[in-house]
A and B are shown apart, each in its own frame.
Chain A
Amino acid sequence: MAVQQLRKSAGARWKIERRPDVSTGRQFVAILLALGVSFVVSAVLIAVAGASVGRAAVAALHGAFGDLRAIAETLLQATPILFTGLAVTVAFRARLFSIGAEGQFFAGAMGAVWVCMLVGDRLPSAVLIPLVVVAGLVGGGIWGAIPGLLKAKYDASEIIVTVMLNFVIFFFLAFLLGDAWRDPSSFYYQTPRMPAAAQFPELIPGMRLHWGFVLALACAAMVYVFLWKTAWGYEIRAVGINAEAARYKGISIPKVTVVAMAVSGAIAGLAGASEVPGLHQRLVLDLSSGFGFTGIIIAMLGRLHPLGVVPAAILFGASVTGISAMQIAVNVPVAINQAIQGVILIFLLMADVLVRYRVRRTNPRV
C-alpha cells in the first residue's frame, strides 16, 4: 500500500497531477509528438505494403516540395481543405460538432454550377466569378443552416443530422448528374464544362494553382477577425465554452447555433465553389476526396485557430502530393493517406492528454 511504502522510503514520491493551464508551447509539443508518431506508423504501413521506406520517403518529399511545380501542387491540394478546416473551426468553436463540411462542399459546388448553367455564357468574368463565389456561399450556407435550425428548434443532434445530410445531398447530386445536369456529349456522369468566363485565373503561370488559394487565405484572415474581433464571434466562443452562462447574460443560444452553422456551411460551400471553377471545370461525384472529413482533422491540429489551420492545411496538401508521388515510385495504395489522417487525429488526442498532466515529486514533511 502506497502510504506504507511512503513510510519505508525515506525520500520523495512521484505523483501525476493536472496542470492548471496548458501553454501554447506545450500544445505545440503535443502536435509535434502526434505527427512524429504518425510518421513512424506511416513508415510501418509502407513497409507492410512491401515497399522501401527510404525510397518512399524521398519520393514523397520531392513530390511535395521538390520544385516550384511541386509546391504549387501542394498549395493547390491545400486549398479545399483549408476552406473546410476553417469551416469546421467556426462550428467547433460553438461546440457544434458538425460533420457536414463534406455535404456543404457539394452544396456550394452545386450552387456555383447552377449559376453558371443559368447565366454563365452571358456574363463577363468580372461579374461571373463573384457571382459564383456568392452562389457557393449561399449553397453551403443553406446546407449548414438546416442542421443549425433543427438543433436550435428541436435539439436534434447536429452530429447525426449533418452526417445524414451528407448522404442526402450526395444522392441528390447523383440524381442530377444522371438526369437534368448530365452532359449529353459525355459518357461519364458529369456536368458540361463550365464557361471559360467562370474559370478562376491561375496564380502562377503554367501551374494549376489558382486564385482559390488566395481566397482561402483571405478567408482565414476573415475567420480570425470574425471569431476574435466581432461581437458575433464573441458570442460563438462564449456559447462554445459555457452555454449556460451565456444564456444567463442574454445571449440567444438558438441564434448563435444557426449563425455558426450557416457561416461554417458557407465557408465549406466556398470550398466547393472554388474547386469546380478553379480546378476541374466540371461537377463530378468524386469531386471531393473526403475534404469535409480532412477538414475536421486540420481544425483539430490547428487548435481551432486560423493561425494553426493554415499550416496544417499546407501540411496535408503536402501529404497528398507527396503520397501520390510516392505511389508512382513504390506502388503503395493511395488510401494510405486517409489511414494516416485517422492515425494523426488519434495520436493528437492522446498527446493532448499527456501534455495536460505533469509528474511531480512530492516531499513529505518531516
Chain B
Amino acid sequence: MAANAPSSRPHQEILLKVENITKRYPLVLANDNISFEIRRGEICSLLGENGAGKSTLAEILCGACRPDSGTISFGGKPTAFASPRDAIAAGVGMVHQHFTLVPTLSAVENIFIGTKSTGILLDLKPTTRRLEELCAAYEVELDLHAKVSQLSVDKQQWVEILKALFGGIQLLILDEPTAALTPQESRKLYANLQKMRSEGLSIICITHKLEEVIDASDRVIVLRNGKLVDAIETAATNKEALARMMVGRDVMFRVDNKRKEPGEALLEVDDLTAYNDRGHAALRGVSFTVRRGEVLAVAGVSGNGQKELFDVLVGVRQAAGGRIALDRKDITNRPTTFSRGHGIGSIPADRIHQGLVMDFRVDENLILGRHWDSRFTRWSFLSQGKIAAFAETMIRDYEIVPPSASQAVRALSGGNLQKVIIARELSQEPKCLLVNQPTRGLDVGATEYAHRRLLQERDRGAGILLISEDLAEILSLATRIAVIFRGQIVGMMDGGEASIDEIGLLMAGIHRGAPRRLQ
C-alpha cells in the first residue's frame, strides 16, 4: 500500500502552526522548543520512540495540558487551549491511546456527554441519528446502545473515533491508533483515515511503528528526547533514515538471534479455563507447552485472555479447569509462593502497579517476594546487611542507574524500573520465566537491554513464555509463536517461518483451514 503521490493532492493551506512549544515536568523536559506546521487535508505522522515527547505534544494540542511557553495558531488565528473545551470548540478531536470511554455507558451516551443540548431532560435521539449516519459513511457496524465494556476492542476504538469526529472537526489526532488492532484492522483504519483526508480533514497519527509511517502518511515529524529532529515528506525518506533520526544511531532491526535446539518440555498447560474480573470466561481451554531453551511467544490483540493467562500461571488467579504442570509436577492453583519456590519467575505487564512498590527503596523492591528467604530474614527479622550486599551486587550486575540501593524507586526511569524487576527475577535463575509486555513504554535502549537479557536466559536453558502485543518484538525473539484469540490458542507456528499476515489473520480469529498445531 503505497502512500498517495504528493502531486495528487491540491496545494494546501496551513491549518495548525506550532511555535516554540516547551513543556517541562519535574523529572524531565518533555517538549523542548518544538515548532512545526500541519496543512489541511494531510496525514502527518508524529514519530518517536517511547519517551520522546509525542504524547505530551498531543495532550497540549487537545487541551489536556498547558505548555510552559510557545504559541499555537489554529486556522490562522492565535489560540491557546486552556482546557479540552477550547480544543473541541476550535475543532480538534483526539483519539487517546487509552480510550477515554465510560465503560458502564453506551456509545451514544458516551458521545452525548459534552454535546450542546437544550433542556434538562436526556434526549439521545438526535445523537443516535447522527451516529448512525457516521457509521454508514465509514461502513462501520456498531451496536450504539450496548455498554461500551461489552464491545470488542476495535469497536471501542471506533466509538472513540466517532466521539472525536462527532462535532465536526478540522484536525483529528490519533495516539498509537493501531496498538490494539490486528494488521488487517490497522489497514482498514488507515483506509478510512485516507477517506477522511480526502474530505479535507487534517490528521496527526502518533506512532512508533515505522511501517505505518512509510505506508500511510504524507509527512512525518520526528521527535527525539523532546526535540524536533526533522519534518519531511515521507516520500523523501525511508525506514533506516527514520530509525536513525528516531534513535540517534543506527538500529538493528533483528536482534542477533542464533537459535539453539530447544530441550524437553518444561511447562505444560492443558485445557486451561479461567474467568476475568467481571465473571466472564476469559480462558476457554488453552493448551501449549514451553520447552527448555526456547521462547514461546503468545501473540494477540489485547483483551483476548493474555492478562488472565499470565495471572493464572503466576498464581494470582484461580484456574477454573485444566492443568498446569512444571517438570511433570502438577502446580495448578498452587499459591504464588509455591511457584516461585519452584523456579518460576515473572515479569508483569504494568511495572508501576504490578511489579514494584513505588514508595519502597531499590533494595526493598529487590527482595520483594523473597523477603522470607533465610538468606534475607532470620527469625522474622530482616538481615539488613545481607540485603544491602545483595542489592549492591544486583545494581552492578544489571546496570541499574542511579546505583544507590537506598534510593526510592520512584525516582528511577522506566528502563531502570524494568531493570530492577529483571534483576529481581533473573537473579533467582528461574527454570521458567513468564513475561508480559516486557518493553511496553520503554525506549529503544531499554528495549534492547531487555531483549538481550531474555535471550541470555533462553541460552542458559530457561523456558520463556513471552506474552506481547508488539509483533516486531515477537518476531525478533520467538522460537515458536502461538496466537491467542477469545481465550483459545488458534494457531502455533515456527518463529522463523511466521508471516505477519498469517499472524494477523489468526489474531482476528480467522483460520485458514484447520489450525496447525506444533507441540
Contacts and interface: CB of A to CB of B under 8 A. Distances in A.
CB–CB under 8 A between A and B in the complex? yes
A364 B22 contact: yes
A246 interface: yes
A365 B26 contact: no
A235 interface: yes
Ranked 3 nearest A-B pairs via Cβ:
A364-B69, A249-B369, A3-B80
A97 to B, nearest CB: 18
A17 B25 contact: yes
A2 B25 CA distance: 19
A208 B357 CA distance: 46
Given A15-B68, A250-B315, 8 more contacts: A1-B80, A21-B408, A237-B360, A241-B360, A245-B356, A250-B336, A362-B68, A364-B69
Given A3-B72, A4-B78, A241-B359, A248 B380 contact: no
Contacts of B82: 1-2
A234 B364 contact: yes
Interface stretch (B274-282, B347-355, B477-485): B347-355
Interface in B244-259: none
Interface in B13-44: 20, 22, 24-27, 33
A229 interface: yes
A153 interface: no
A13 interface: yes
Interface of A: 1-4, 6-7, 13, 15, 17-21, 229-232, 234-235, 237-238, 241-242, 244-252, 362-365
The residue in B80, B368, B381 that gathers the most chain A C-beta atoms within 10 A of its C-beta is B368
A138 B220 CA distance: 70
Contacts of B355: 245, 248
B33 A242 contact: no
B150 interface: no
A248 B70 contact: no
Nearest to A12: B69
Interface of B: 20, 22, 24-27, 33, 66-72, 78-80, 82, 314-316, 335-337, 340, 346, 348, 353-360, 364, 368-369, 371-372, 377, 380-382, 384, 408, 410-411
A147 B369 CA distance: 27
A3 B382 contact: no
Contacts of A15: 68
Nearest to A365: B33
Contacts of A362: 22, 24, 68-69
A3 B66 CA distance: 9
Contacts of B382: 229-231, 234
A3 B78 contact: yes
B380 A232 contact: yes
B68 A364 contact: yes
Given A17-B26, A248-B348, A250-B337, A3 B377 contact: no
Given A238-B368, A242-B358, A248 B26 contact: no
Contacts of A19: 26
Contacts of B22: 362, 364-365
Contacts of A4: 78, 80
A248 B27 contact: no
Contacts of A3: 67, 70-72, 78-80
Given A232-B380, A241-B358, A13 B69 contact: yes
A75 B440 CA distance: 56
Contacts of B371: 231, 234-235
Nearest to B373: A231
A20 B71 CA distance: 27
A11 to B, nearest CB: 11
Contacts of A229: 381-382, 384
A275 B380 CA distance: 31
The residue in A18, A244, A363 that gathers the most chain B C-beta atoms within 10 A of its C-beta is A244
Nearest to B66: A2
A230 B316 CA distance: 24
A96 B377 CA distance: 25
B69 A248 contact: no
A19 B78 CA distance: 32
Contacts of A6: 69-71
A244 to B, nearest CB: 6
A242 B360 CA distance: 10
Nearest to B425: A249
Contacts of A232: 380
A363 to B, nearest CB: 8
Contact of A365 (B20, B79, B315, B411): B20
B499 to A, nearest CB: 35
A18 B27 CA distance: 10
Contacts of B314: 248
A27 to B, nearest CB: 14
Contacts of B71: 3, 6-7
B68 A231 contact: no
29 contacts: A1-B82, A2-B80, A3-B70, A3-B79, A7-B71, A7-B78, A20-B26, A21-B410, A230-B377, A230-B380, A231-B371, A234-B364, A241-B357, A241-B360, A242-B356, A242-B359, A244-B353, A245-B354, A245-B355, A246-B357, A248-B348, A248-B354, A250-B336, A252-B335, A362-B22, A363-B69, A364-B22, A365-B20, A365-B69
